[in-house]
Amino acid sequence: MPEGDTVWRTARSLHEVLAGQTLTTFDLRVPQHATADLAGSTVREVVARGKHILHRIDEPGGDAWTLHTHLKMDGSWHRYKRGSRWQRPAHTVRAVLDTAEWQTVGYLLGVVDLVRTADEDTVVGHLGPDLLGPDWDPRVAAANLARDPEREIGVALLDQRNLAGLGTIYRAELCFLRGVSPWRPVGEVDDLPGMVALARRIIGANRDRVERTFTGSLRRDRYWVYGREHEACRRCGTTIERGHLGPPTMERVAYRCPVCQP
């Protein structure tokens, strides 16, 4: 699943071509919104909220709407100059928003909602502070994590109600950098504010990069532990372990060095 930095870049790319422009096509190819038509309306902005994308659109009559989408595992947004060939099959399209110069196409979007902008909280109001957003508040994020001291820190970090934007890659690398096993209970993590501060720093550093790095290298050795099961820890040489965290129906892969992250 794309993580907060990828979603932030996607929203920025869409904003660059849609903000301030009049829509010539507004086509949502999902049953619940198949008849919605905001052609003739103006896109005010496109922003990310954690892993969610919000198109804020103003109708000529004054009504304001928000197109809320989530990429989930397989979704993506592409932008094309008018007349360009789409890069993926038409049957995978879930949304098309066109202007006079650009086409923006959402493929295999996991969530497509259309709500009044005044009602945005119904779709994103549950999210905690956004690591890359203007609402970022490290004290609130740390307090949210601390609310359930028995919960594994790796599970708590992926709960978007605590802080919004982290996924399995950031969890793995963040826990390694802090020397904390993702299976450790939150109540046994010594410095939650320090962990939250580092999360903000590393996702901010990677925000403008297509290829993330956590080691400082831009070559293949960009990760400390993620995806490196059975390989040697770059710090101590111990074999990296892989396991799963989360409730039975929501398990996600996790990694750790058993020496560096006891």
Residues with active-site annotation:
2-3, 51, 252
- Give the integer Cα–Cα distance in Å for 103 and 162: 35
**Residue 164, SS3?**
strand
Query: For residues 54 and 47, what is the distance between their CA atoms, to the nearest angstrom?
Result: 5
Could you write out the DSSP letters of every residue in 87-131? SS-GGGEEEEEE-SSEEEEEES-SEEEEEEGGGTHHHHTT---BT
In this structure, what token pair is assigned to residue 1? Answer: 């699943």
- Answer yes or no: are the C-beta atoms of 67 and 58 closer than 8 Å: no
Task: Count other Cβ atoms within 10 Å, centred on residue 110.
Answer: 14
72-89 burial, b at 16+ Cβ within 10 Å, e below that, comes to eeebbbbbeeeeeeeeee
C-alpha Rg value of the chain to the nearest Å: 20
Phi then psi for residue 77, to 5 deg, are -115, 135
Q: Quick one: tokens of 92?
A: 């995978």
Tokens matching residue 9: 């870049």
Q: Is residue 52 a contact partner of residue 123, using CB atoms and an 8 Å limit? A: yes
